[in-house]
Structures are given as structure tokens and as C-alpha cells.
């Protein structure tokens, strides 16, 4: 099939590359010329394991190309995928300005019948709005469908090539054959429903996962007070098939470009129809508090944060991505700076993105975990990058001014800490040292 993908971010680029790898002819479009220039040099503007190799193969096979010319891309394609951002407005609602702009541009560009598929996460009713915007810019006929995206950054290619399921929301039954055929190479588990339900499935799924995370984090907070170990509790709970072990890892809370914005947007979606989503409001509140527990734990271990040297391991919201949107590290580091600490930061990939968002003379940018820890009063592990698991903890204790390790992701086991001389504070587990 001939496809155009609008937006070459984490979702658009990965989707475009994966559709091309299944034999479709794909053109990826972005308004950001610097991204398109980079892509045309076969460099990915995002860090995502495996993306550049797959890009290169498909460009070589002439199935994949990149352009900023939306009109040409729309005209040569039968199906257009919308994958532009839908960030939060200050009130939590989804900002639809990029969707509406792209829809208007598609309408202007159309020269015949097209299918427009929305992959961006959009509030219930948005595809209807997209239809109206396009219709006000063209007299050609078209259909819209909602195919929400569930990929996770860091494993985005695997998630796209082998998704648990694909959800297709449509109102014209004639589209079903075409859209299922397009997704069949990825999975047989294709769920076809109406457009509004498809839009809601995406928000409900993310809200449910966020709820699991905040739930286990609250259990962790109670474990700390009653002397239980949350990792044992989660194992015991998760082996019950009705519960499942996924998303039961206690830590410093969720971040990233999806869960924070999608939970807030769903609260707004409910609010707009006079429904107060009390449970989800608590999930968000718990998640914010969980970040600040790192600060509280530091204050308990050190007399004061003023003048303290704090090493930060990991700033991306999760490992294997350079994405720092709504990463817990942002709020934690800003708070440390406000309280007068000197902060030494290390992340294998995401420091440049972090620096673009937040820079300060009190921040020191380090090129290794050891450099970030050297001479510090405490180290806080905020992202569970694999390399932190391999650190020599005996050596770590020796290079710090005070050997305090705050493990925000429960990376280390008791046996790794014992005998190191570290004061070890994790989440929902007994303190050591």
C-alpha cells in the first residue's frame, strides 16, 4: 500500500519504518526540516534501539523516504497516518493544534479519495473533529479511522512488529478489509470497533497501567512503615493470573510523554461531561508525591541539602530512550538546585535533551556514573539503565564523601549491598547500612 505518515517522532518514525519493512511504500513527513535533513542522511532524530538499521534497509529497497512536502506526500498516498504530538495544555487537556493543522493541510492537499488514520492519542470525539476540518478544506471524499498506538519507547520496534493487539476504530465497514490487511503482517489479534471506543481504549489502557504503578507505589510506602518488602509483595501478588506481574515494580513513579499527559487528559475528558474521575485523580497525586519521596529520603540521610553534593544516575524517564519529557529527574533535580545542592548528572544518552530543558550553574555534566558519584554525599539512581546494575558498589562507597545510595528503582539486591559500607535506601524495602 502507498502510505504517508505525518510526524516523524517516536510513533511516526517507528510506524513508518515498520510499515515499510512489511513491503508498503511509505513517505514520512515532518514540518521540522532539520529532522527531515537528518533522516535523509539516514540518521534518526530519536534514540530508539535498532531504528537506524531498519531505516537504512528500507530506504535502500526504495520503500521508505522522508520529506517536508506534505502536499506531495498526500497526493501520492492512498492512506495517511496522523502521528503528530498531542501534548498537554496547562489545564491538562490535550492540545489538538498540531492535529488540526495537519488535518487542514491534508484537506488542502487532497486530489482524490483518501483514508486518514489517526495514530496520535486523541480525546474521544477528535476523529469527528478531524473529519470536519478536512471536509472544510476539500470537496473530495475520504474516510477517517482511529488506530491508537501502544508502543513503548525503548522497545518500540519490537512492540510495533509484534504488538499484543491492534485496535481499529471505524464507522465505514468498507474500511475493515483494507485496515486489517495492512496490520495483519504484525498480528492476527485485531480488534475492530467503533471510533469513539477505539479513542477511549487508548486512554483507558494508559490510565489502568498508571493506576497499577501508583497502587504498588502506595503499597511500597506502607511496606516501608511496617517493615515488609514490596518486591516480595509484588511477586506474591503478580503470580495470581487475575493480577499479573507487569507494572508492579515500585519506584519513583511514571513519567514520559504518555502516562502523565494521558491520565490528565482523561480526567479532563471525564470532567467535560461532568464526571469526576476520583480514582485517576488520586493516581496522579500519588505519582507526583512519589518523586518527592526521593527528596524526603535524602533529607533523612543527610543533615541538609544546602551545599550537599548529589550524584544523579539516569535522567531519561526510563532506560533505552533519550526522552526526558515529564521525567521524574526534572522535578527532582530542580528541587535539589532550589534547596542549594550541587548536582552531578550522568545518563548514557539523555543528558543533551535534559540540558535543553533545564540548565543551571549548579549542575555538573558527567561522562560516567563513577564521575557523577565521585566526592558526593549521596547518589540517587533515577533510571534503571542496565549499566548501573554492573557498577562495582564497593568501589562506589570508597569514592564518595558520604556513602549514601538512594535507589529509586530497586535495582540492587541485599546480597549486592551487604559488606559495601553503603547506606542503602530503596523503595518499599528495608533500609540497609
Instruction: Answer whether 241's CB lies under 8 Å from 307's CB.
Output: no
Phi, psi of 12 (to 5 degrees): -65, -45
Q: Which stretch binds ligand NAD (CB under 6 A): 9-17, 222-230, 306-314, 339-347?
A: 9-17
Q: What is the DSSP string of 48-111?
A: -TTHHHHHHHHHHTT-EEEES-HHHHHHT-SEEEE----PBPTTS-B--HHHHHHHHHHHHH--
Beta bridge partners of 344: 311, 364
Instruction: Answer whether 281's CB lies under 8 Å from 207's CB.
Output: no
Pick 129 or 364: Cβ nearer ligand NAD: 129
Phi, psi of 374 (to 5 degrees): -55, 125
Binding mask 92-121 for ligand NAD (x = CB under 6 A): ------x--xx--x--------------xx
| 14 contacts: CB under 8 Å, gap ≥ 6 | 48, 51, 151, 156, 157, 160
Q: Which of 17, 35, 77, 123 binds ligand NAD (CB under 6 A)?
A: 35
Q: Which stretch binds ligand NAD (CB under 6 A): 23-31, 207-215, 339-347, 404-412?
A: 23-31
Least distance to ligand NAD, CB of residue 166, Å? 13
Q: How far apart are CA 160 and CA 186, in angstroms?
A: 7
Q: How far apart are CA 304 and CA 61, in angstroms?
A: 60
Q: Which of 7, 16, 255, 314 binds ligand NAD (CB under 6 A)?
A: 7
How many Cα atoms are found within 13 Å in the side-chain-facing hemisphere of 375? 8
Pick 85 or 253: Cβ nearer ligand NAD: 85
257 makes contact with ligand NAD (CB under 6 A): yes
Q: Is 7 left (phi over 0), alpha (psi -120 to 50) or beta?
A: left
Query: Which residue in 223, 258, 366, 380 is the catalytic one?
Result: 258
Residues touching ligand NAD, count (CB under 6 A): 28
258 makes contact with ligand NAD (CB under 6 A): yes
Least distance to ligand NAD, CB of residue 328, Å? 16
The three three-digit cell numbers of residue 176, written as one number: 475493515
Pick 38 or 364: Cβ nearer ligand NAD: 38
83 makes contact with ligand NAD (CB under 6 A): yes
Q: Which of 23, 32, 34, 111 binds ligand NAD (CB under 6 A)?
A: 32
Least distance to ligand NAD, CB of residue 121, Å? 4
Supply the DSSP symbol for 127: H
Q: Report the SS3 class of residue 277.
A: coil
Binding mask 119-138 for ligand NAD (x = CB under 6 A): -xx-----------------
Beta bridge partners of 379: 311, 405
Pick 35 or 114: Cβ nearer ligand NAD: 35
84 makes contact with ligand NAD (CB under 6 A): yes
8 makes contact with ligand NAD (CB under 6 A): yes
The verdict on whether 28 is a catalytic residue reads no
Residue nearest to ligand NAD as judged by C-beta position: 9
The CA R_g of the chain, rounded to the nearest whole Å, is: 23
Least distance to ligand NAD, CB of residue 79, Å? 16
The three three-digit cell numbers of residue 260, written as one number: 502523565
Residues 302-341 interacting with ligand NAD (rule: CB under 6 A): none
Among 408, 387, 427, 432, smallest CA distance to 231 is for 427
9 makes contact with ligand NAD (CB under 6 A): yes
Q: Which of 93, 143, 149, 322 binds ligand NAD (CB under 6 A)?
A: 149
- Give contact residues for ligand NAD (rule: CB under 6 A): 6-12, 29-32, 35, 70, 83-86, 98, 101-102, 105, 120-121, 149, 151, 153, 257-258
Catalytic positions: 258
Amino acid at each position: 500500500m502507498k502510505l504517508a505518515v505525518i510526524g516523524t517522532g517516536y510513533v511516526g518514525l517507528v510506524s513508518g519504518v515498520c510499515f515499510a519493512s512489511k513491503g508498503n511504500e511509505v513517505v514520512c513527513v515532518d514540518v521540522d526540516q532539520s529532522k527531515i535533513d537528518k533522516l535523509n542522511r539516514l540518521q534518526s532524530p530519536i534514540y530508539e534501539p535498532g531504528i537506524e538499521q531498519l531505516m537504512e534497509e528500507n530506504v535502500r529497497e526504495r520503500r521508505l523516504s522522508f520529506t517536508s512536502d506534505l502536499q506531495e506526500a498526500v497526493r501520492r498516498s492512498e492512506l495517511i497516518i496522523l502521528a503528530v504530538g498531542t501534548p498537554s495544555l496547562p489545564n491538562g487537556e490535550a492540545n489538538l493544534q498540531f492535529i488540526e493543522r495537519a488535518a487542514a493541510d491534508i484537506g488542502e492537499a487532497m486530489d482524490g479519495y483518501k483514508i486518514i488514520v489517526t495514530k496520535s492519542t486523541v480525546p474521544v470525539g477528535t476523529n469527528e473533529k478531524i473529519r470536519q476540518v478536512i471536509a472544510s478544506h476539500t470537496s473530495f471524499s475520504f474516510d477517517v479511522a482511529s488506530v491508537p498506538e501502544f508502543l513503548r519507547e525503548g522497545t518500540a520496534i519490537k512492540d510495533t512488529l509484534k504488538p499484543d493487539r491492534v485496535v481499529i476504530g471505524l464507522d465505514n465497514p468498507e474500511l475493515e478489509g483494507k485496515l486489517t490487511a495492512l496490520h495483519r503482517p504484525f498480528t492476527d489479534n485485531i480488534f475492530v470497533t467503533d471510533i469513539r471506543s477505539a479513542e477511549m481504549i487508548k486512554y483507558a489502557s494508559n490510565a489502568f497501567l498508571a493506576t497499577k504503578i501508583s497502587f504498588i507505589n502506595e503499597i511500597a510506602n506502607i511496606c516501608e512503615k511496617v517493615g515488609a518488602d514490596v518486591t516480595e509483595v509484588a511477586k506474591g501478588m503478580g503470580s495470581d493470573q487475575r493480577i499479573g506481574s507487569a507494572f508492579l515494580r515500585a519506584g519513583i513513579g511514571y513519567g514520559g510523554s504518555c502516562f502523565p499527559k494521558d491520565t490528565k487528559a482523561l480526567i479532563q475528558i471525564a470532567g467535560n461531561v461532568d464526571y469526576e474521575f476520583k480514582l485517576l485523580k488520586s493516581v496522579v497525586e500519588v505519582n507526583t508525591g512519589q518523586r518527592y519521596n526521593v527528596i524526603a529520603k535524602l533529607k533523612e540521610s543527610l543533615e541538609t541539602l544546602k551545599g550537599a553534593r548529589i550524584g544523579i544516575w539516569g535522567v531519561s524517564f526510563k532506560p533505552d530512550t533519550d526522552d526526558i519529557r515529564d521525567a521524574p529527574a526534572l522535578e527532582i533535580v530542580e528541587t535539589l538546585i532550589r534547596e542549594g545542592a550541587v548536582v552531578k548528572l550522568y545518563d548514557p544518552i539523555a543528558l543533551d535533551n535534559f540540558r535543553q530543558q533545564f540548565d543551571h550553574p549548579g549542575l555538573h555534566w558527567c561522562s560516567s556514573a563513577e564521575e557523577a558519584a565521585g566526592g558526593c554525599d549521596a547518589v540517587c539512581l533515577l533510571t534503571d539503565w542496565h549499566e548501573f546494575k554492573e557498577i562495582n558498589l564497593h568501589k562506589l562507597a570508597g569514592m564518595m564523601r558520604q556513602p549514601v545510595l538512594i535507589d529509586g528503582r530497586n535495582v540492587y539486591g541485599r546480597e549486592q549491598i551487604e559488606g559495601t559500607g553503603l547506606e542503602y535506601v530503596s523503595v518499599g524495602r528495608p533500609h540497609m547500612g
